[in-house]
Amino acid sequence: MSHLSLPQEIPIQWIHPDPLQPRKLFNTDTIHELSHNIKQLGLLQPLLVKQNSLQHFTLLCGERRLIAAKNAGLEKVPIIVRDDPHSQSLTRLMQYSENVFREELTAIESIDIIIQLIQDGISTQQLSEVLGKRHDWVKAHLLANTAPYRSLFESGRLKSISVLLVFRSLPLPAQRQLLTDTCPITSTLCQKIRQRYKESDPQRELPILNTITTSHRESLVTPVPRSTITIPLNPLWLRGFVTKKALIQAIEKIINEQLTKDIKQA
């Protein structure tokens, strides 16, 4: 059964923004362009609203169009009234879908609305199917709402859930040190760190990461303490080798045995 009315026109001052609308910030340039188009062509797509009383309507979808219509000086706008007796969660999901497909939400706005939808009883799997997003992307919003990740989003060091997923794929030592650093955590930085971990000796964590952020005074990874390797370079020991090759092989054997011991103890 449909809960939507036929399109109609009402005075624009009767429509009030929804305080639960996930999007809080709007691009002024985009609003200006849309306002110019509305002046030329009118508001072609009706606003979706909920009627509270005879002259009071709450906007459900289309706040960007409403702002642009006001800037364009429209006195009346076309609307469609949604009369749905069910919970607010469907409205939130509609609002979120409208914004997420345009990629207009900030990371914090996205985190807050996903958390609210889950609290309303919508599962992460259902959100994944409705939004057409990967399940791990939806679930990552739960992680993003916890310490210390939310503070990273609030400070601007993390700017998207996708980057958080890449960050979480890094080795734990790199994650720990990046959390205490002050540089922006970007997908490019995380990919470089992960690639250099693959290419280099896993025992050389410190030099690997230092080459990426040379402008930082501190390294991104705290070095793991190593044991001191003692090689008995005394004349009596050296005379036991007939060739230089045999001496080099003996030294390599001592080093490899100690490194193997370090790895087992780490």
Question: In terms of domains, do 25 and 52 share one?
Answer: yes
Question: In terms of domains, do 6 and 69 share one?
Answer: yes
Boundaries of domain holding 21 = 1-85
Question: In terms of domains, do 162 and 174 share one?
Answer: no
Write the CB contacts of 107 (distance below 8 Å, at least 6 apart in sequence).
144, 153, 158, 159, 160, 161
pLDDT at site 16: 92
**63: annotated active-site residue:** yes
Question: In terms of domains, do 80 and 3 share one?
Answer: yes
Of 172 and 266, the structure prediction assigns the larger pLDDT to 172
Instruction: Annotate 130-163 with b (16+ C-beta within 10 A) or e (fewer).
Output: ebeeeeebbbbbeebbeeebbebbeeebbbbbeb
- What the block records as the tokens of 35 is 């306002």
Question: In terms of domains, do 140 and 113 share one?
Answer: yes
Question: In terms of domains, do 37 and 113 share one?
Answer: no
Q: Percent of the chain having pLDDT more than 90?
A: 19
Asked whether the CA dihedral 238, 240, 246, 249 is positive or negative, the reply is negative
- Residue 218's pLDDT band, with cuts at 50, 70 and 90, is very low
The model's pLDDT over 8-20, given as tens digits with 9 standing for 90+, comes to 899 999 999 887 6
Q: Does the structure show a pLDDT above 60 at 54? A: yes
3-state SS class at 94: helix
How many domains are contained in the chain?
A: 4
Asked whether the CA dihedral 129, 132, 135, 137 is positive or negative, the reply is negative
Write the CB contacts of 128 (distance below 8 Å, at least 6 apart in sequence).
134, 135, 137, 138
Pick from 147, 168, 189: which residue ends a domain? 168
User: Nearest-CA neighbor of 200 among 174, 228, 162, 165?
Assistant: 174
Question: In terms of domains, do 78 and 21 share one?
Answer: yes
Question: In terms of domains, do 78 and 66 share one?
Answer: yes
Of 234 and 25, the structure prediction assigns the larger pLDDT to 25
pLDDT at site 71: 93
Q: Does the structure show a pLDDT above 80 at 164? A: yes
Pick from 20, 53, 85: which residue ends a domain? 85
Q: Average pLDDT of the chain?
A: 75
Catalytic residue among 33, 63, 103, 109: 63
- CATH number of the domain within which 79 lies: 3.90.1530.30
Of 25-29, 65-69, 136-140, 163-167, the least confident: 25-29
Of 209 and 84, the structure prediction assigns the larger pLDDT to 84
pLDDT at site 219: 41
Question: In terms of domains, do 175 and 212 share one?
Answer: yes
Q: Does the structure show a pLDDT above 50 at 224? A: no
The model's pLDDT over 119-148, given as tens digits with 9 standing for 90+, comes to 877 888 888 877 778 889 889 999 999 988
